[in-house]
């Protein structure tokens, strides 16, 4: 029997810019999952990767090892092409709530395994759980049944999918190694590959409210994930989309569900509709589907699928959404045009109002949030309400309003507004 590698030697090799073979990576991930490698050694390895990076072969091996650490779902018996979407996270990003039922109405099966919000970016599950009775924790059998009957499901990833990634992410979070493109890419893609989808479209956000604030970094991340998908047999495309301004007008949980429902009724904000349809077009193409996607929003077909999904997951789509009892308005400082509305500042404000959490175990408020009454390019009069902040607790307002200081800029001329979709990256 071959002796296992020496962990210190693997750390040293990567620290000095060497290359790890597949067997060493597979052993390291497996041994860490079995508690045979302590946190302090794996933390040192992650820091070495942070500084030295991983080449294509190492990245493929790391992703495969994380996929192999748990179960892999089999979605082959659904009778529909499977396609999913993943966003790197942003402020006001409620795209999944519209996109999943839209693609289901077009004939796809969409297994949206989503997460919860942390910090200034919201979580899809937190938003949906503001609907009375909605269940996001489904078993694999329940998830498959909703997919078969409705065509889309939005739920939490089971503990059995890429469990090594879950452990590694927790360690990265406390060792300053989160911001590593190879580690981000392998983390995201291991879960999506284990999910069993045939095709995947990535929404890589760029800007002040995004994890990636520079286009070059976002493009590198997108290219890395597209390459991983191709190597693992998942047809993958990425779109770079702007996140300097909140997407849509609502930032929070119930307020974003309300805006999603308006969009599913054909009356959504232009930027949200543009991103949703751009992603939907890519998803439909990868799935081999032809459909009039804007018509499916206008004619109620996508809304019907959303309602079916909510009912199938225990929710009541007709129930009133929670409303915050306390509201404050921020006035425009001058007359003119809104030139800038900083996404990160609005996201932090919503978080401080109670819509987000500082730690994963923190509760969130369903009704708290921010509504953007005016956005860049729109005219305002001095004193006109531009932002409405909502909370359940009066004590929340002071720090939220502090976060919004300097977030809004009004000038005499309207700004040039670039397209919200920057580019597509395909394999």
How many whole angstroms separate alpha carbon 219 and alpha carbon 65? 25
Mean pLDDT across the stretch 157-174?
90
Mean pLDDT across the stretch 239-267?
97
CA distances, 331 to each of 73, 157, 302, 390, 418 (Å): 51, 42, 36, 15, 26
Q: Burial-class residue 392 by CB neighbours within 10 Å (0-12, 13-18, 19+).
A: middle
Please check whether residues 292 and 217 belong to one and the same domain: yes
Q: Using an 8 Å Cβ cutoff, are 360 and 119 in contact?
A: no
Q: Where are the alpha helices (DSSP H) in 34-94?
A: 39-52, 56-68
**When comparing pLDDT for 363 and 409, which is higher?**
409
Mean pLDDT across the stretch 140-154?
95
Please check whether residues 306 and 357 belong to one and the same domain: no
Q: How many CB atoms lie within 10 A of CB 95?
A: 26
Question: Which residues lie below 8 Å from residue 427, measured CB to CB, with a gap of 6+?
Answer: 226, 227, 229, 230, 235, 236, 237
Starting at the edge strand found earlier in the chain, the sheet holding 421-426 runs 83-87, 199-206, 235-242, 421-426
> Residue 7 above 90 pLDDT?
yes
Number of domains in the chain: 2
Mean pLDDT across the stretch 248-268?
97
DSSP codes joined into one string, 321-370:
PP--SEEEEEE-SSSEEEEEE-HHHHHHHHIIIIIS-SSTT----SS-EE
Catalytic residue among 85, 191, 192, 375: 191
- Domain membership flag for residue 78: no
Last residue of a domain, one of 318, 353, 385: 318
Q: What is the CATH number of the domain that holds 274?
A: 3.40.1030.10
Please check whether residues 288 and 377 belong to one and the same domain: no
- Domain membership flag for residue 150: yes
pLDDT in tens, 351-404: 999 998 777 777 899 999 999 999 999 999 999 999 999 999 999 999 999 999
Q: Using an 8 Å Cβ cutoff, are 389 and 327 in contact?
A: yes
- Domain membership flag for residue 39: no
173 is catalytic: no
Mean pLDDT across the stretch 174-186?
92
How many whole angstroms separate alpha carbon 228 and alpha carbon 199? 12
- Domain membership flag for residue 172: no
Angle at 88 between CA 179 and CA 210, to 5 degrees: 70
pLDDT in tens, 41-94: 999 999 999 999 999 999 999 999 999 999 999 998 899 999 999 999 899 999
Closest CA to 257 of 355, 375, 393: 355
Please check whether residues 253 and 366 belong to one and the same domain: no
Please check whether residues 304 and 331 belong to one and the same domain: no
Q: Tokens 């408020």 label which residue? A: 365
191 is catalytic: yes
Please check whether residues 87 and 156 belong to one and the same domain: yes
Please check whether residues 310 and 343 belong to one and the same domain: no
Please check whether residues 262 and 364 belong to one and the same domain: no
At 331, phi and psi to the nearest 5? -85, 160
- Domain membership flag for residue 278: yes
How many whole angstroms separate alpha carbon 368 and alpha carbon 352? 9
Mean pLDDT across the stretch 289-311?
97
How many whole angstroms separate alpha carbon 225 and alpha carbon 220? 9
C-alpha 127 chain-centroid distance: 12
pLDDT of residue 158: 84
How many whole angstroms separate alpha carbon 384 and alpha carbon 338? 12
- Domain membership flag for residue 266: yes
Please check whether residues 256 and 135 belong to one and the same domain: yes
pLDDT of residue 211: 87
165 is catalytic: yes
Question: Which residues lie below 8 Å from residue 132, measured CB to CB, with a gap of 6+?
Answer: 315, 316, 319
How many whole angstroms separate alpha carbon 75 and alpha carbon 197? 7
- Domain membership flag for residue 348: yes
60 is catalytic: no
Domain of 398?
326-411
Catalytic residue among 60, 85, 86, 219: 86
Last residue of a domain, one of 318, 344, 372: 318
Catalytic residue among 120, 127, 172, 396: 172
Please check whether residues 381 and 256 belong to one and the same domain: no
Catalytic residue among 136, 186, 187, 365: 187
Confidence of residue 3 (pLDDT cuts 50, 70, 90): low
Please check whether residues 295 and 373 belong to one and the same domain: no
Last residue of a domain, one of 300, 318, 336: 318
pLDDT of residue 361: 73
Comparing 11-20, 121-130, 212-221, which segment has the lowest mean pLDDT?
A: 121-130
Q: What is the CATH number of the domain that holds 344?
A: 3.90.1170.30
The mean pLDDT of the chain is: 94
pLDDT of residue 356: 86
- Domain membership flag for residue 292: yes
Catalytic residue among 84, 165, 307, 342: 165
Q: Where are the alpha helices (DSSP H) in 245-335?
A: 254-264, 270-287, 293-298, 301-312
Please check whether residues 245 and 208 belong to one and the same domain: yes
Closest CA to 143 of 160, 130, 126: 160
How many whole angstroms separate alpha carbon 152 and alpha carbon 111? 6
pLDDT of residue 119: 65
């Amino acid at each position: 029997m071959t002796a296992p590698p020496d962990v210190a030697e693997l750390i040293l090799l990567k620290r000095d810019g060497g290359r790890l073979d597949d067997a060493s990576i597979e052993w390291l991930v497996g041994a860490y999952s079995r508690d045979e490698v302590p946190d302090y050694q794996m933390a040192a390895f992650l820091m070495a990767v942070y500084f030295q990076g991983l080449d294509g072969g190492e990245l493929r091996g790391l992703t495969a090892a994380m996929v192999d650490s748990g179960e892999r779902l089999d979605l082959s018996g659904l009778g529909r092409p499977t396609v999913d979407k993943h966003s790197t996270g942003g402020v006001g990003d409620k795209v999944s709530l519209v996109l999943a039922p839209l693609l289901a109405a077009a004939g796809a099966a969409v297994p949206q395994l989503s997460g919860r919000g942390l910090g200034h970016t919201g979580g899809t599950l937190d938003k949906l759980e503001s609907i009375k009775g909605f269940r996001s924790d489904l078993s694999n059998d329940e998830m498959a049944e909703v997919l078969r009957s409705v065509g889309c499901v939005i739920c939490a990833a089971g503990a059995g999918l890429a469990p090594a990634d879950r452990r590694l992410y927790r360690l990265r979070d406390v060792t300053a190694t989160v911001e590593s493109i190879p580690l981000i890419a392998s983390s995201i893609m291991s879960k999506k590959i284990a999910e069993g989808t045939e095709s995947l479209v990535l929404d890589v956000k760029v800007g002040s409210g995004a994890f990636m604030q520079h286009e070059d970094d976002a493009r590198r991340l997108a290219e890395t994930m597209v390459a991983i998908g191709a190597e693992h047999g998942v047809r993958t495309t990425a779109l770079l989309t702007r996140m300097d301004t909140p997407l849509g007008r609502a930032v929070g949980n119930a307020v974003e569900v309300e805006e999603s429902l308006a969009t599913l009724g054909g009356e959504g904000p232009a930027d949200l509709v543009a991103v949703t349809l751009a992603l939907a077009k890519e998803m439909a193409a990868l799935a081999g589907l032809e459909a009039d996607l804007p018509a499916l929003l206008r004619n109620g077909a996508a809304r019907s699928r959303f309602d079916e999904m909510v009912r199938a997951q225990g929710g009541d789509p007709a129930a009133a959404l929670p409303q915050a009892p306390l509201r404050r308005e921020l006035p425009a400082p001058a007359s003119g045009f809104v030139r800038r509305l900083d996404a990160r500042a609005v996201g932090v404000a919503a978080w401080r109002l109670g819509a987000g959490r500082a730690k994963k175990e923190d509760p969130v408020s369903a009704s708290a949030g921010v509504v953007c009454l005016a956005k860049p390019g729109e005219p305002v009069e001095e004193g006109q309400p531009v932002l409405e902040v909502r909370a359940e607790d009066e004590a929340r307002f002071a720090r939220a309003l502090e976060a919004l200081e300097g977030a809004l800029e009004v000038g005499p001329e309207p700004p040039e507004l670039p397209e919200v979709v920057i580019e597509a990256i395909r394999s």
